[in-house]
């Protein structure tokens, strides 16, 4: 392996990216627009479905059997789904991290509930609950309890998701689609005639994309923080390590897609097939708390799920590197697996 050849490809790929003004500008503009848009929109929340946590619900017991202290109009409202928790601590943890919108203690009269003041959707569910419990001709039948400890704004919970989503699209399309285009245009065939090896070429692509992803991450982070003033409870260095592991894993997955194929249209379809399920199941925009167990288990096959789980633990909970080491280990293992598959399957011509 010659460092000079690797550096030449690395440098050429970076120059190509920076000279493409449309792609370069959109990599910065798109996440800014998403973050600013959600920062304005989620001052109020217009989701069609809300999640209400209920405790204590023993394991194996239906939640709807334990909400007899709630009026039928509220319990049967189709826009609300109920999620059971065995203890108040479990439910409170989900409430603080916007996994649920409101928490109710089962069997209490007056109805005892908790809601985050920083949750727009929680305010809507609280209004629905009060409207169902306290008609004008009756007295108060509810009791609001204060949340102890840290409360997280929705925009702080959303921010890592937007960064991870931008990283996913940039890695998969910036490597997978671009290399297939090179193969179709005959660029890879010309490179094959040089002393450059497949391992050197893939390594240069990997390092180049990681560099560009982290460069974009820093610019977007600083620009967004100046406007929205995000709260970070963990160490910035730990968060940087998490995103570095995530960018390497996403790029390695892009190399698997880039290893074969000459059809840009087919590659685009494959990328969409991977990106959209990953985006929805990895909790970029919203929590999948209350979803079937098999669906939550399926989400763990995506690297973006582990990236966002670790990033939110550091940013929103103040966790250290040791706490998120399981997620980082999974990302590193996926990276090695993707690199091996991509290197073995890589072809210059087909």
Write out pLDDT tens, residues 13-58: 788 777 766 566 666 766 676 666 656 545 444 444 788 888 888 7
Q: How far apart are CA 261 and CA 347, in angstroms?
A: 9
Write out pLDDT tens, residues 112-142: 888 877 677 777 777 777 777 665 444 456 6
The mean of the pLDDT values for the chain is: 79
Cβ pair 329, 321 in contact under 8 A = no
Q: How far apart are CA 316 and CA 41, in angstroms?
A: 21
What is the pLDDT confidence band of residue 247, given thresholds at 50, 70 and 90?
A: very high
Tokens (6 digits) for 140: 């108060």
Cβ pair 243, 214 in contact under 8 A = yes
Report the pLDDT value the prediction gives residue 302, as an integer from 0 to 100: 93
Domains annotated on the chain, with CATH: 3-41+153-345 (no CATH), 50-145 (3.40.190)
Higher pLDDT, 243 or 144: 243
Q: How far apart are CA 197 and CA 194, in angstroms?
A: 8
Higher pLDDT, 68 or 293: 293
Count of beta carbons in the 10 Å neighbourhood of residue 128 = 18
- Which pTM does this prediction carry? 0.67
- ∠ CA 37-43-49 to the nearest 5 degrees? 95
Q: How far apart are CA 334 and CA 253, in angstroms?
A: 8
Distances (CA, A) of 143 to 21, 112, 150: 57, 5, 21
- State whether the Cα torsion 155-158-164-169 is positive or negative: negative
Tokens (6 digits) for 285: 């925009």
What is the pLDDT confidence band of residue 188, given thresholds at 50, 70 and 90?
A: confident
Q: How far apart are CA 122 and CA 50, in angstroms?
A: 8
Give Cα 60 to chain centroid, integer Å: 30
- For 231, which DSSP code? -
Higher pLDDT, 254 or 262: 254
């Amino acid at each position: 392996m010659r460092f000079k050849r690797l550096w030449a490809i690395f440098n050429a790929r970076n120059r190509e990216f920076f000279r493409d003004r449309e792609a370069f500008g959109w990599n910065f503009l798109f996440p800014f627009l998403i973050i600013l848009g959600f920062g304005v929109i989620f001052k109020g929340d217009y989701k069609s479905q809300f999640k209400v946590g209920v405790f204590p619900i023993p394991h194996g017991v239906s939640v709807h059997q334990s909400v007899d202290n709630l009026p039928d109009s509220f319990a049967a409202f189709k826009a609300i789904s109920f999620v059971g928790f065995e203890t108040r601590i479990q439910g409170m943890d989900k409430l603080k991290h916007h996994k649920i919108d409101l928490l109710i203690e089962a069997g209490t009269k007056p109805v005892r509930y908790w809601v985050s003041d920083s949750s727009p959707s929680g305010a809507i569910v609280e209004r629905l609950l009060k409207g169902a419990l306290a008609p004008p001709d009756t007295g108060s039948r509810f009791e609001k309890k204060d949340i102890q400890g840290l409360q997280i704004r929705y925009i702080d919970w959303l921010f890592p998701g937007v960064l991870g989503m931008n990283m996913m699209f940039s890695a998969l399309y910036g490597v997978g689609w671009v290399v297939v285009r090179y193969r179709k245009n005959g660029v890879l065939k010309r490179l094959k005639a040089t002393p450059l090896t497949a391992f050197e070429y893939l390594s240069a692509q990997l390092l180049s994309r990681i560099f560009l992803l982290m460069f974009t991450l820093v610019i977007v982070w600083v620009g967004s923080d100046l406007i929205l003033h995000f709260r970070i409870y963990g160490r910035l260095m730990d968060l940087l390590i998490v995103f570095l592991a995530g960018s390497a894993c996403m790029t390695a997955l892009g190399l698997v897609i880039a290893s074969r194929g000459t059809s840009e249209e087919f590659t685009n379809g494959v990328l969409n097939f991977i990106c959209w399920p990953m985006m929805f199941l990895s909790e970029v925009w919203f929590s999948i708390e209350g979803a079937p167990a098999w669906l939550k288990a399926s989400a763990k096959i995506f690297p973006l799920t582990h990236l966002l789980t670790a990033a939110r633990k550091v940013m929103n909970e103040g966790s250290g590197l040791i706490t998120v080491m399981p997620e980082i280990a999974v990302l590193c293992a996926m990276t090695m697996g993707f690199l091996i598959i991509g290197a073995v399957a890589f072809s210059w011509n087909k």
